[in-house]
Amino acid sequence: MESVLLSGAATLLGEARRVVVFTGAGISAESGVPTFRDDLTGLWARFDAQRLATLEAFHSDPDLVWGWYEWRRARVRRARPNPGHVATAAIESLVPDSMVITQNVDDLHERAGSRAPVHLHGSLFAPRCIAEAAHPAPFPGTADDEAADPGEGRRLPPPRCTRCGALVRPGVVWFGEALPEAALASAVKAAAACDVLLTVGTAGVVYPAAEIPRIAADSGATVIQVNPEPTPLDMICATNLRGPAAQILPALVAAAWDVPEKK
């Protein structure tokens, strides 16, 4: 990472009044959370991730799908926010008019101190029933910070909604489903109004979420990318900072606001 690029990006970030931090799987991978298709290991490798992540699969074999998602949730709970997540929360505290928009279904931003990140693809920690009302549902018999690991490859019966009796499903967006309307609208509005958008750890190829950095650029915002590798977003970015989020974001925050870099 060239210091001149970091310095220039820090100046832009430090002068911004409205900031959006847009994150993808890369930032969570640095905490040891596997990407979606990499999360089929051992016994789970017998299955196709894309086929498990559908409403049809849940109706066909709810115990299998719920078991896999509970196993994923338990793995996320064992992970810890990395310095990239912490630096993102610091940006929120330093720029009152800021928003975190994430494609990730984990809760690492929340645990790092982010106020209310917008989850475009839902969350492993927000189950709801499959009824039309989509009642929010708590996890039965476990505290929020004590995800019970059902074991790899195990089927696990999903609970029933305490309000209507329908099966409870994972609160993520499955293939064939639309993004949450309110989350997408909030993300689009923020992207269109921001001065700077930081895109972190995402290749920018999953739509419609991948439109968010492009909306910001089209609206006149400066887009800064943090990613170890080139991506299709390179062409719309004013600056491309190559490297891991856990390394670059803390350095960027320290340079932007002249604060000691947290290790």
Tens-place pLDDT, residues 222-259: 999 999 999 999 999 999 999 999 999 999 999 999 86
Q: What is the chain's mean pLDDT, rounded? A: 91
Residue 262 counted as domain residue: no
Residue 139 counted as domain residue: yes
pLDDT grade for 2, boundaries at 50, 70 and 90:
confident
First-last CA distance in the chain: 18
**CATH (domain of 161):** 3.40.50.1220
Q: What is the mean pLDDT of residues 67-76?
A: 91
Residue 55 counted as domain residue: yes
* 227 assigned binding-site residue: yes
* 103 assigned binding-site residue: yes
Q: How far is the C-alpha of 93 from the C-alpha of 226, rounded, in Å?
A: 20
According to DSSP, the residues that pair with 99 across neighbouring strands are: 20
Q: Which of residues 1 and 25 earns the better pLDDT score?
A: 25
Q: What is the mean pLDDT of residues 31-41?
A: 76
**pLDDT at residue 184 in the model:** 98
The range of the structural domain enclosing residue 203 comes to 3-257
* 223 assigned binding-site residue: no
Nearest 5 degrees, angle CA 240-CA 30-CA 139?
Answer: 125
Tens-place pLDDT, residues 166-186: 999 999 999 999 999 999 999
The answer to whether 121 is a known catalytic residue is yes
**pLDDT at residue 44 in the model:** 63
* 240 assigned binding-site residue: no
Q: Write the single-letter amino acid at 96.
A: P
Residue 263 counted as domain residue: no
Residue 56 counted as domain residue: yes
**pLDDT at residue 23 in the model:** 98
**pLDDT at residue 154 in the model:** 80
From the candidates 85, 109, 119, 121, give the one annotated as an active-site residue.
Answer: 121
H/E stretch holding 127:
strand 122-129
Q: How far is the C-alpha of 42 from the C-alpha of 88, rounded, in Å?
A: 33
Total domain count, the chain: 1
Tens-place pLDDT, residues 82-127: 999 999 999 999 999 999 999 999 999 999 999 999 999 999 999 9
**pLDDT at residue 42 in the model:** 62
* 129 assigned binding-site residue: yes
Q: What are phi and psi of 172, to 5 degrees?
A: -105, 165
Residue 41 counted as domain residue: yes
Q: What is the mean pLDDT of residues 47-73?
A: 92
